């Protein structure tokens, strides 16, 4: 008889997006002529930059020629791409990285989910609430948590750090033991950021407690304001206690193309039961060379073009487009009297539902009265109740129409 990994049975069904789809479908059936605008998706909508497409074509040609064909590449990625990443994403911000501290992968989702494998089962994880669900679910699957508590909407054995209106959506440091701390800034779903000073507190905490920060910077490219760190390694002391996940998905439209990378500095250590230190970098290399065979050459070649002069300009134009949408959403909602967060350094706007309305109640109201679909905050965690997420990944026209409808039809 084949037995199941019972940790998988602890996971509640992925309720959020299936429930949204169910309600939307029912509404469409009842209102077949209705023109719904979708502001819920966390996926890009603009096409890949022309420079990327050109490089991809060329790499495909190379793969068809005897002289330039390539088979397996290095599991951790081609140096031509790693060097560009270091040169363009880190050096200008005063962060020095070695080539073997950067690991190319097929996604930040994959990496944030897989990275926990290296850590012992006794570690306690801390996550913000609301949270990107991958950090939690991957640890549940591994068996690092207790059961799901339906009433609380939380797993036993995880330290949840509430982000609410009272604390301005900024999590407090854990008040109980935490060994693996997941932070995502700019944040999905709240769109908020931490200043260098605020992030420094987390780095200091991790150093004091020999904890490790798993820092997801998937939205780094959307930062507009000065003083907001793009990388945790801009913070003094972070090289000993942090790992950083980056992705080309939102940055350059790679959600369907797949390329990302993870930074593991050589100084980060994890400890065995005798208290002996082990290099996380070495262990992640060991893990990747065993379980991963690299991102395809055409995709890595295409990714390198993100850093060409033309590529950089094209990526900037796309992100500007989304961020102009974000500004329109933010300004429109504020004018209509909403309390809003995010949308300044991230493509997400996190709004407080009016009049203590529940997240799902507001979802229905918005869908039925404004014909706009968003994402109920409660779907990202208990503290998301009473909040709602709108995204800037839409056309300018639909963004403007959606905000106009919210302003005029929701009272
Ligand atoms: C979109 C997103 C990612 C990127 O995932 P990929 O697998 O690289 O597409 C990572 N973290 C967060 C929080 C995200 O929203």
State the distance from the centre of ligand 1 to the C-alpha of 407, rounded, in angstroms: 31
The domain limits of the chain are: 15-47+310-409, 54-307
What is the model's pLDDT at position 411? 73
| Contacts of residue 1, Cβ cutoff 8 Å, sequence gap at least 6 | none
Contact 389, 16 (CB under 8 A): no
Contact 43, 348 (CB under 8 A): no
- Is the domain covering 54-307 a CATH 3.30.420.10 domain? no
What is the model's pLDDT at position 410? 87
Rg of the chain taking only CA atoms, in angstroms: 22
| Contacts of residue 377, Cβ cutoff 8 Å, sequence gap at least 6 | 130, 189, 350, 353, 359, 384, 385, 386, 387, 388, 389
* Residues having CB within 6 Å of any atom of ligand 1: 42, 107-110, 132, 184, 188, 216, 218, 247, 249-250, 255, 260
User: Mutation test of ligand 1: which of 103, 108, 183 has the most ligand atoms closer than 8 Å to its C-beta?
Assistant: 108
With both helix axes pointing from N to C terminus, report the angle between 309-335 and 50-63 in degrees, rounded to the nearest 10.
Answer: 140
CA atoms of 121 and 102, how far apart (whole Å):
26
What is the model's pLDDT at position 41? 79
| Token pair in block for residue 199 | 């992030």
State the distance from the centre of ligand 1 to the C-alpha of 101, rounded, in angstroms: 20
Which residue(s) pair with 342 in the sheet?
349
Which residue(s) pair with 389 in the sheet?
350, 375
| Contacts of residue 213, Cβ cutoff 8 Å, sequence gap at least 6 | 181, 182, 183, 202, 203, 206, 232, 238, 241, 242, 243
Ligand 1, closest atom to CA 254?
9
Contact 372, 402 (CB under 8 A): yes
Cβ neighbours around 59 below 10 Å, total: 20
CATH level 3 topology of 15-47+310-409:
3.90.1150
Contact 366, 377 (CB under 8 A): no
- The position carrying tokens 């403007």 is 400
CA atoms of 322 and 365, how far apart (whole Å):
25
User: Which letter does DSSP use for residue 186 in this model?
Assistant: S
| Token pair in block for residue 163 | 């982000």
Binding-site sequence positions for pyridoxal 5'-phosphate: 72, 108-109, 132, 188, 219, 247-249, 258, 293
What is the model's pLDDT at position 286? 98
What is the model's pLDDT at position 169? 97
Give, rounded to a whole angstrom, the gap between the first and last alpha carbons of the chain. Answer: 59
Q: What is the pLDDT along the chain (411 residues), one digit of tens a residue?
A: 999 999 999 998 877 888 999 999 999 999 999 999 999 978 999 999 999 999 999 999 999 999 999 999 999 999 999 999 999 999 999 999 999 999 999 999 999 999 999 999 999 999 999 999 999 999 999 999 999 999 999 999 999 999 999 999 999 999 999 999 999 999 999 999 999 999 999 999 999 999 999 999 999 999 999 999 999 999 999 999 999 999 999 999 999 999 999 999 999 999 999 999 999 999 999 999 999 999 999 999 999 999 999 999 999 999 999 999 999 999 999 999 999 999 999 999 999 999 999 999 999 999 999 999 999 999 999 999 999 999 999 999 999 999 999 999 987
| Token pair in block for residue 90 | 């880190």
- The position carrying tokens 């991957």 is 138
| Token pair in block for residue 147 | 């059961």
CA atoms of 259 and 352, how far apart (whole Å):
34
- SS3 assignment, position 13: coil
With both helix axes pointing from N to C terminus, report the angle between 309-335 and 396-409 in degrees, rounded to the nearest 10.
Answer: 10
Give the full edge-to-edge strand order of the sheet including 125-129.
Answer: 102-105, 260-263, 242-247, 212-216, 180-184, 125-129, 159-162
Question: Distance between alpha carbon 346 and the CA centroid of its chain, in Å?
Answer: 11
CA atoms of 252 and 83, how far apart (whole Å):
18
State the distance from the centre of ligand 1 to the C-alpha of 248, rounded, in angstroms: 9
User: Which letter does DSSP use for residue 172 in this model?
Assistant: P
With both helix axes pointing from N to C terminus, report the angle between 50-63 and 297-304 in degrees, rounded to the nearest 10.
Answer: 150
State the distance from the centre of ligand 1 to the C-alpha of 249, rounded, in angstroms: 7
What is the model's pLDDT at position 13? 80
């Amino acid at each position: 008889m084949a037995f199941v990994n019972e940790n998988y049975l602890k996971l509640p069904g992925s309720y959020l997006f299936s429930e949204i789809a169910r309600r939307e479908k029912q509404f469409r059936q009842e209102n077949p002529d209705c023109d719904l605008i979708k502001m819920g998706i966390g996926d890009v909508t603009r096409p890949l930059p022309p420079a990327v497409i050109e490089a991809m074509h060329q790499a495909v040609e190379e793969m068809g020629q005897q002289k330039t064909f390539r088979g397996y590449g290095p599991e951790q990625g081609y140096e031509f791409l790693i060097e560009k990443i270091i040169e363009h994403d880190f050096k200008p911000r005063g962060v020095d990285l070695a080539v073997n501290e950067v690991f190319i992968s097929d996604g930040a989702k994959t990496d944030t989910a897989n990275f926990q494998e290296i850590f012992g089962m006794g570690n306690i994880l801390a996550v913000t609430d609301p949270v990107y669900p991958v950090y939690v679910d991957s640890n549940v699957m591994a068996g690092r948590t207790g059961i799901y508590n339906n009433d609380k909407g939380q797993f036993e054995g995880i330290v949840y750090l509430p982000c609410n209106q009272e604390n301005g959506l900024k999590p407090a440091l854990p008040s109980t033991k935490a060994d693996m701390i997941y932070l995502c800034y700019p944040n999905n779903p709240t769109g908020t950021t931490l200043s260098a000073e605020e992030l420094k507190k987390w780095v200091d905490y991790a150093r004091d407690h020999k904890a490790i920060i798993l820092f997801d910077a998937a939205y780094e490219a959307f930062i507009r304001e000065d003083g907001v760190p793009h990388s945790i390694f801009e913070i003094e002391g972070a090289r000993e206690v942090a790992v950083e996940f980056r992705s080309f998905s939102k940055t350059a439209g790679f959600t369907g193309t797949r390329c990302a990378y993870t930074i593991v500095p050589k100084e980060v250590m994890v400890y065995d039961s005798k208290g002996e230190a082990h290099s996380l970098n070495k262990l992640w290399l060991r893990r990747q060379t065993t379980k991963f065979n690299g991102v395809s050459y055409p995709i890595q070649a295409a990714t390198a073009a993100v850093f060409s002069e033309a590529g950089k300009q094209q990526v900037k134009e796309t992100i500007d487009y989304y961020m102009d949408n974000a500004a329109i959403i933010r300004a429109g909602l504020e004018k209509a009297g909403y309390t809003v967060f995010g949308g300044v350094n991230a493509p997400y706007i996190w709004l407080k539902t009016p009049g203590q309305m529940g997240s799902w109640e507001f979802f229905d109201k918005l869908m039925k009265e404004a014909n706009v679909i968003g994402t109920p905050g409660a779907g990202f965690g208990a503290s998301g109740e009473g909040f709602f997420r709108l995204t800037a990944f839409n056309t300018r026209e639909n963004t403007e129409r959606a905000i106009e409808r919210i302003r005029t039809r929701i009272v």
